[in-house]
Structure 1
Amino acid sequence: MRKLITGMKVSIDGKMEGPEGYADWVDAWSEDYGLTPQIDACLLGSVMYAGYERYWSAIQNEPDKPLPMTGKLPMPAELEWARFAEQTPHYVLSNTMTSALWPKTRFVRSLEDIAGLKQQPGKDIYLMGGARMTASLIDAGLVDELRLILYPLLVGEGKALFGATQNRRGLELRKVQQLTDGRVSLVYGIG
């Protein structure tokens, strides 16, 4: 069975967004979790998908121009993810969306649909949901692994990654790696 793996970039106080609604401490939105070789599909919520599609389409369409959302040129790892994303099926959990710009985008409507995706042959699936979607899929027992990049700062006000989690879950530490700039990569199995 395929695993559903989520990856998030969070502050030490567990925030995935600051008070302005985004993680201004993250320099690049590349896939920094080491997942690319082991995944062949991505899963997102509809709110996140709209911005995700816009961001990565901008890089795909004009890789040598500053991004409208950040005003910065794409980093090399972002260019690499943009190429990967263009070729990879994306599933969007939504009861209302019916169309997307990317031809490899499909819609799933329920937790049962996600459980069905895990039963299909293939590599693992990367969950790029927001906090609410990630919490609901963890609560439903569908997320198998949690990969965090912990940033050395206290954000204070902002959206907590696990603020919407309803059920207590045990985590099994599988890997710890010190990164540059005081960041730490943590990999947990979810029990």
Structure 2
Amino acid sequence: MRKLIAAMKISVDGKAEGPAGFADWVHDWAEDYGLTDQVDACLLGGRMYPGYEQYWTAIQNAPDEPLPMTGKPAAREELPWARFAAKTPHYVLSNTLNSANWPMTRFLRSNDDVAALKRQPGKDIYLMGGSTIVDSLIEAGLVDELRLVVYPLIAGEGKVLFSTTAQRRDLELTKVEQLPGGRLSLIYKIG
């Protein structure tokens, strides 16, 4: 069975989002998790997908132009992910969204649909945050691995990654790596 791998960028105090609704301490959305060779599908929640699609479409269409969300051009480190995203199937777990501009986007309606996706042949699946979908799919027992890039800051106000997880989960640390800028990469197997 394919693994579902959740990956998030968080602060030392466990925040996945700042007060503005996103991780405003992240300077670029490069793929720091080492997943591109391991996955052949991405899974997102319905709240995150529209902005994600807009952001990466803007980079794909005009990588040197200012992005509508930031007013700055894409970081050089984001360009490989923009190319990967353009050719990779994306699945959106949502009860409300029904359409997407990307032709390789499909909609899932339930955790059972996610479980069925995991049973299909292929490489592993990258579960992209937000924290709500990560929390709910960990709670449902569908996430096999958690990859965190921890930024060296206390974010203060914002949304904690595991704010709604009720059930205790054992994690097995399988890899630690120091990244530039004082960041840490942590990889856990979820028990």
TM band (smaller chain) = over 0.9
> Counterparts of 1:155 and 1:96 in 2: how far apart (Å)?
31
Question: How far 1:59 sits from its partner (Å)?
Answer: 0.4
What is the DSSP-based 3-state SS (H/G/I as helix, E as strand, rest coil) of the residue aligned with 1:37? coil
Give, in whole Å, the separation in 2 of the partners of 1:22 and 1:96: 21
Question: Equivalents in 2 of 1:22, 1:94: separation in Å?
Answer: 19
Matches within 5 A, 1:118-133: 118-133=118-133
Q: Is the 8 A contact 2:6 2:126 kept in 1?
A: yes
Which letter does structure 2 place at the counterpart of 1:44? L
Query: Is 1:23 aligned to residue 23 of structure 2?
Result: yes
Task: Report deviation, 1:4.
Answer: 0.2
Partner of 1:140: 140
User: Deviation string for 1:46-98 (max 9, x for gaps)?
Assistant: 11001000000100111111111112221222111111101000000011211
Q: Percent identity?
A: 69
The answer for the alignment partner of 1:166 in structure 2 is 166
Map 1:1-191; keep pairs closer than 5 Å.
Answer: 1-191=1-191
Number of residue-to-residue matches in the alignment: 191
Contact between 1:131 and 1:164, CA under 8 Å: does it hold in 2?
A: no
TM-score (norm 1): 0.98
Q: Residue 139 of structure 1 contacts residue 166 of structure 1 at CA under 8 Å; is this kept in 2?
A: yes
- Measured in 1, the distance between the counterparts of 2:160 and 2:40 equals 28
1:127, distance to aligned residue in structure 2 (A):
0.2
Asked if the contact 1:19/1:159 (under 8 Å) is kept, the reply is: yes
| Structure 2 unaligned residues grouped into runs of 5+ | none
What is the TM-score when the length of structure 2 is the normalising length? 0.98
